[in-house]
Structure 1
Amino acid sequence: MTEFVLVAGAWLGASAWDEVVPGLRAAGHGAHPVTLTGVGEKQGLPVGPQTHVADIVDEVERLGLRDVVLVGHSYAGIPVGQAAGRIGDRLARVVFVDAGVPADGESFVSTWWQGPAALEAEIAGNGGFWAPLTAPDFEGQGLTDEQIARIVAGSTPHPGASLGDPAVLTGPLGSLRATYVKCLLDGPEPTDDVASLLSGESWELVTMDTGHWPMFSRPQELVRILTGAAAQP
């Protein structure tokens, strides 16, 4: 039995995986969605250096999990990629779902596609938090109005401290056994850093013809991809 530890991206807590967890459990696996400190039901708790990495590692250790597949969506790829190096032989695989990947010494903000200054200004203008997206921001992402409403209702401001936290890697990402899930409606090609990792022997690419939030738009397909990734040697 594989133990999936599921971490959603910015603004979202464990409830983002509500339509994925039952499918994983029905397939005989463990499924453990994590809410990162400062968002969702953990809103208001303090966030410091490496807090989100610790959230993930602590969940694995608290539950005594083995044969772990860490799943990081969007922003959560940054702490998940770091946590992967900290759980030792408990780790079976990492799945990055349309996610960022960590680079040693770099943060989510420092690699922001519009430039760090733009995101830093947005966070500073919102009291140190990244404001959640609104319904119009989800257009063109393969989501129904009901799915968009669920994402918006489940989103809380994201602590800027985590977004500016420099990554600390314990080893090269390229040595991980990893699957990268590219959601094509959010861009047809992986970013250059991901493409470089995919050129190695231990990373594989899987595509989904949907947008950036497949746990909402295509949960059953995502379950199939996750269980398939777990079956990889």
Structure 2
Amino acid sequence: MTEFVLVAGAWLGSSAWDEVVPELRAAGHGARPLTLSGLAERQGERAGQQTHVRDVVEEVERLDLRDVVLVGHSYSGIPVGQAAGRIGERLRHLVFVDSNVPVDGESFVAQWPEGRPMVEAAIAANGGTWPPLAEAYAGQGLDEARVARILADSTPHPGRTLTEPAELARPIEELPTTYVKCLLAGEELDVRVTQLVAGGDCRVVRMDTGHWPMFSSPRELARILLEAADPTPG
């Protein structure tokens, strides 16, 4: 049995995976959505980048999980990618869902130079947190009612997790990886993903949906995760 550990991106907690988890469990696998420190029901907890990495590693070790598929969406690709290099033989596969890919010494905001001033200004103006952005969901395959529900469940994101650098214990290129590209968020792969594909054991899967496929296409996303856990030879 594969154990999926699912981590959503900025502003979101474990409930983001509510429509994906049943699909994975129905296929006979474990599915463990994780809320990172400072978000959702853990709002108010202090967190930096390495706090979020420890959140993931400690969940795997606390539950003594084996054959683990770590899934990181959006921002959470950065801590999840770091955690993947720290859980050793427990790791079966790493899946980035339209996410940032961690680079040693590089932060989330460093990967988004055009948005960095906006994010840093928002963090400074909001007590060290990044407030949810309603406009981020526009054009991503979600209707107004769904966006309203997502925003109702969202919480400000701990700012230090966005500005502190990644610390890789193991190069991502050494890990079996799938990158899920959501086409409504842009068809071109980030240069870091292109480098990962060229230099590592990484397969790219494209979804004709928006940046939040756990909301817009949960069954298709679950299918892709299951295939990543047990790829067909050849």
TM-score range, shorter chain: over 0.9
CA contact (8 A) 2:107 2:166 kept: yes
1:112 corresponds to: 112
Displacement of 1:146 after TM fit?
A: 2.6
**Equivalent residues in 2 for 1:37-76, closer than 5 Å:** 37-76=37-76
Map 1:189-208 to 2 at 5 A.
Answer: 189-208=188-207
Mapped to 1, the partners of 2:136 and 2:70 lie a distance apart of 28
Aligned partner of residue 109 in structure 2, secondary structure: coil
* Counterpart code for 1:130: W
2:212 corresponding residue in structure 1: 213
The TM-score normalised by the length of structure 2 is: 0.96
C-alpha distance in structure 2 between counterparts of 1:48 and 1:112, whole Å: 18
- 1:44 & 1:170 partners in 2: Cα distance? 28
Separation (CA, whole Å) in 1 of partners of 2:119 and 2:13: 21
Identity value in percent: 64
Q: What TM-score results when the alignment is normalised by the length of structure 1?
A: 0.96
Deviation track 1:58-117 (CA, whole Å, cap 9, x = no partner) reads 000111100000000000000000000100000000000000011101111222241533
Query: Relative to 1, partners in 2 of residues 1:201 and 1:83: Cα closer, same or farther, differing over 3 Å?
Result: closer
Checking the alignment, whether the CA contact within 8 Å between 1:112 and 1:119 is kept in structure 2 is no
Instruction: Indicate the RMSD between aligned Cα atoms, in angstroms.
Output: 1.2
8 Å CA contact 2:53, 2:80 repeated in 1 = yes
Q: Unpaired runs of 5+ in structure 1?
A: none
Contact 1:9 1:72 in 2 (8 A): yes
In 2, Cα distance between the equivalents of 1:8 and 1:116?
A: 21
- Contact kept in structure 1, 2:36 and 2:42, CA below 8 Å: yes
2:179 is matched with which residue? 180
Residue of structure 2 equivalent to 1:12: 12
Most deviating of 110-119 and 176-185: 110-119
When residues 111 and 27 of structure 1 are mapped into structure 2, their CA distance, relative to the original with a 3 A threshold, is same
Unaligned runs of 5+ in 2: none
CA distance in 1, matches of 2:229, 2:178: 9
Maintained 8 Å contact 2:172/2:200: no
After superposing on structure 2, the runs of 4+ consecutive aligned residues of structure 1 that deviate more than 4 Å are none
Task: Identify the residue that residue 80 of structure 1 maps to in structure 2.
Answer: 80
Matches within 5 A, 1:85-164: 85-114=85-114, 116-134=116-134, 136-164=135-163
CA distance in 1, matches of 2:111, 2:3: 31
Q: Aligned letter for 1:139?
A: A
Aligned length: 232
User: Is contact 1:36–1:42 with CA below 8 Å preserved after alignment?
Assistant: yes
CA apart distance, 1:49: 4.9
Is it true that 1:27 corresponds to 2:27 in the alignment?
yes
